[in-house]
Amino acid sequence: MNFSYTETQTQIRSAVKALCDGFGPEYWRQCAQDGAYPEAFVDAMIEAGWLAALIPEAYGGSGLSLMDACTILEEVNRSGGNSASCHAQMYTMASILRHGSEAQKRKTLPRIADGSLRLQAFGVTEPDAGSNTLRIQTFARKVAGGYVINGQKIWTSRYSHSHMYLLIARTTPFEDLAKKTDGLSLFLVDIAKAGSSLKAKPIRTMINHHTFEVFIDKLEVSDDDRIGEEGKGFYYLLDSLHSERLLVASEAIGDGKWFVDKASRYAGERVVFDRPIGANQGVQFPIARAHMNIEAAELMRNKAVTLFDAGLPCGREATMVKYLASEAAWEAAEAALSTFGGYGMACEFDIERKWKEARLFRTAPISNNLVLAQVAEHLLGMPRSY
């Protein structure tokens, strides 16, 4: 077993860190204060080719491994940034790459790679379905040459900064299916072309996340806009979810390392009652525990990504590492906030901003309670709990 990172991954870390150094804490603080999309940062990431990491060279990308991509996003968050602003550009295109027609690939992937086309919006979740994707109600009715889609999505992030909308909809009523995982289809929608058939309403959130509720009214799409076979969209969705969970876990690992570094340095510098606060076990032990859990999550991430890159089954590992990494990052966030005390609440120290961002990953892209339920049932053979 080799626990070392490759020379390429070490070089990636250095290069991404250098880029991130040009977008220091003041930049991210201002974006959070103004509720602004980090356009300059995303443009820089595109220009450097980092967001095209997973696109094959034949389509204008870098053709890197998922482990390389995980390294990119981990380093962004480890540097104090927030790669959630652009991570979907990496994994959303996986459905096209794996299941799209050659015409769809040629039309979209080179433009995603060069930044002229942004595919960051992914319409899955609905207000009444939540995590139960099989019970979504958005419906694509078959007509000559295409479909007419009606429905509603929620938590569609970066919709206003995307040219294309990857949308999953039901094409067969749930009640008519013998196999309940069938009957969903995946569509690639041109937002500008859709016009008034798509209406988006921004959702104010506790973090600077740019997420929307999307209303779909008589949206007309062609057969050429469907990705893969009709009724197989759920299986295509799962392909994207494995990479999504591993990339998100990498962001959480990066966050955790940032918190531990900030907290441990501050604990050594801050003097109260004539001694550094880090000399107190009540301060140092939570930071040490968080560090160990992040290290463990990183090892689990590396195992899962190695399986993914080898083309081996990794769904269980990807789901578990999303849980482990997000919980470890949250533990580190809590330790950092406690270490900084009142200063942790002050925007100028950035702890409160990153604390809120880290909390998101315990809920999305899959609830950690749902992860526990899946592990209990599918890995441990316990009764279904939901």
Q: Which residues, 6 or more positions from 120, have their beta carbon under 8 angstroms from its beta carbon?
A: 86, 88, 89, 92, 157, 158, 159, 161, 162
What are the pLDDT digits (tens) for 241-258? 899 999 999 999 999 999
Q: What percent of the chain has pLDDT over 70?
A: 100
Sequence-ordered list of residues with C-beta below 8 angstroms from that of 356, at least 6 positions apart, any chain: 206, 207
Tokens of residue 139, six digits:
């419906």
pLDDT of amino acid 380: 97
pLDDT, residue 82, reads 96
pLDDT for position 50: 97
pLDDT over 90 at 107, yes or no? yes
Q: pLDDT of 329-375, one tens digit each?
A: 999 999 999 999 999 999 999 999 999 999 999 999 999 999 999 99
CA separation for the pair 48, 76 (Å, rounded): 13
pLDDT in tens, 261-283: 999 999 999 999 999 999 999 99
The pLDDT score that the predictor gives to residue 86 is 87
Q: Which of 335, 262, 265 is nearest to 293 (CA)?
A: 335
Please, what is the average pLDDT of the chain?
96
Predicted pLDDT at 239: 77
CB neighbours of residue 154 within 10 Å:
19
pLDDT digits (tens, 9 = 90+) for 115-135: 999 999 999 999 999 889 999
- pLDDT higher than 80, residue 295: yes
DSSP string, 374-386: HIIIIIT-PPP--
User: What percent of the chain has pLDDT above 90?
Assistant: 94
In the block, residue with structure tokens 């990308």: 61
SS3 146: strand
**1, pLDDT greater than 80:** no
Q: Which residue has the higher pLDDT, 192 or 88?
A: 192
What pLDDT, on a 0 to 100 scale, did the predictor assign at position 73? 98
353: nearest Cα among 344, 366, 363 = 344
Task: Over range 206-220, report the average pLDDT.
Answer: 97
Listing DSSP states for 93-142 in one string gives: THHHHHHS-HHHHHHHHHHHHHTSS---EEE---TTTTT-GGG---EEEE
Which amino acid type is present at position 343? Y
Q: How confident is the model at residue 62 (pLDDT cuts 50, 70, 90)?
A: very high
Report whether 259 contacts 335 (CB < 8 A).
yes
Q: What is the pLDDT of residue 149?
A: 98
Q: Find out whether 206 and 35 touch, Cβ atoms under 8 Å.
A: no
Distance CA 158, CA 156 (A): 7
* Residues whose CB is less than 8 angstroms from the CB of residue 142 and which lie 6 or more positions away in sequence, other chains included: 171
Q: 184: part of which helix (H) or strand (E)?
A: strand 184-190
pLDDT of residue 89: 87
Q: How far apart are CA 352 and CA 342, in angstroms?
A: 10
Q: Where residue 190 falls among pLDDT bands split at 50, 70, 90?
A: very high
The maximal CA–CA distance of the chain, rounded, in angstroms, is: 79
- When pLDDT is cut at 50, 70 and 90, the band that residue 226 belongs to is very high
Looking at the DSSP assignment, which residues form a beta bridge with residue 189?
165
Q: What was the pLDDT predicted at 91?
A: 87
Which residues are CB-contacts of 32 (< 8 A; sequence separation ≥ 6)?
207, 208, 347, 353
Q: What is the mean pLDDT of residues 24-35?
A: 97
Q: Measured in Å, how far apart are the chain's first and last C-alpha atoms?
A: 38
Q: Is 80 exceeded by the pLDDT of residue 319? A: yes
pLDDT at 386 over 90: no
